[in-house]
Chain A
Amino acid sequence: GAVVSQHPSRVICKSGTSVKIECRSLDFQATTMFWYRQFPKQSLMLMATSNEGSKATYEQGVEKDKFLINHASLTLSTLTVTSAHPEDSSFYICSASVNKGTEAFFGQGTRLTVV
């Protein structure tokens, strides 16, 4: 299957700092990528849809100024958690599909801890 690489896998940062998470499609071009957040023992909550060359579409209740998404190329989307606080600590995971209707391939996920 297609490969999606997410980096870093783990990050610890201080409150008030910003953290950037990268999501790359390694062997295909992805015009659309998705960012999810997962709390412990819970399901994946869709945060936003990242569109190459245009603004991201955020789900209701997700602060777009807090979670900045940039999809500058067909193989890279980034999620920046700005002015991070302990409540932003979570598992963040991205996905991309080769074509519409086919399975989504996921990155390895990033475990963010804000101290």
Chain B
Amino acid sequence: AQKITQTQPGMFVQEKEAVTLDCTYDTSDQSYGLFWYKQPSSGEMIFLIYQGSYDEQNATEGRYSLNFQKARKSANLVISASQLGDSAMYFCAMRNGGGFKTIFGAGTRLFVKA
């Protein structure tokens, strides 16, 4: 069975510093995709970054990068130069390569301090 684990219920980071949000996953599939979403207090889900299981390079999108360690089954999100607007819930998610169904981790609430 597929599973996503986020062990950090809450994280604090100083503005302008970098922060890493942890995510480990479990799947028996060879082809899969890993995603990170941001959910501000308004409730909307904002797509941040994607990593395919066959991608050799770590994904990057602006200030977001995904530290993909396939052997360890981890897909940590790194946010560089944190901003106050980054304060939100962050969810790691996974999908089988051949389908649409996405499962989510428990989430990590990030607090950015001024």
Residues of A within 8 A of B (CB): 1, 32, 34, 41-44, 46, 49, 91, 93, 95, 97, 100-106, 108-109, 111
B44: A residues at CB distance < 8 A: 106, 108-109
Q: Which residues from B are CB-within-8-Å of A49? A: 100-101
User: In the bound complex, how far is the Cα of B107 from the Cα of A32, in angstroms?
Assistant: 25
Which 5 residue pairs across A and B have the least CB separation, nearest first?
Answer: A106-B45, A109-B43, A103-B47, A44-B104, A43-B106
A106 to B47, CA, bound (A): 9
14 contacts between A and B (CB under 8 A): A34-B100, A41-B109, A43-B106, A44-B91, A44-B104, A46-B101, A49-B101, A100-B99, A104-B47, A104-B95, A104-B100, A104-B102, A109-B43, A111-B43
Q: Given contacts A101-B33, A101-B98, A103-B35, is CB(A93)–CB(B104) below 8 Å?
A: no
Contacts of B68 in A (CB 8 A): none
Q: Which residues of A contact B103 (CB under 8 A)?
A: 46
Most B-side CB within 10 Å, residue of A43, A49, A91, A106: A43
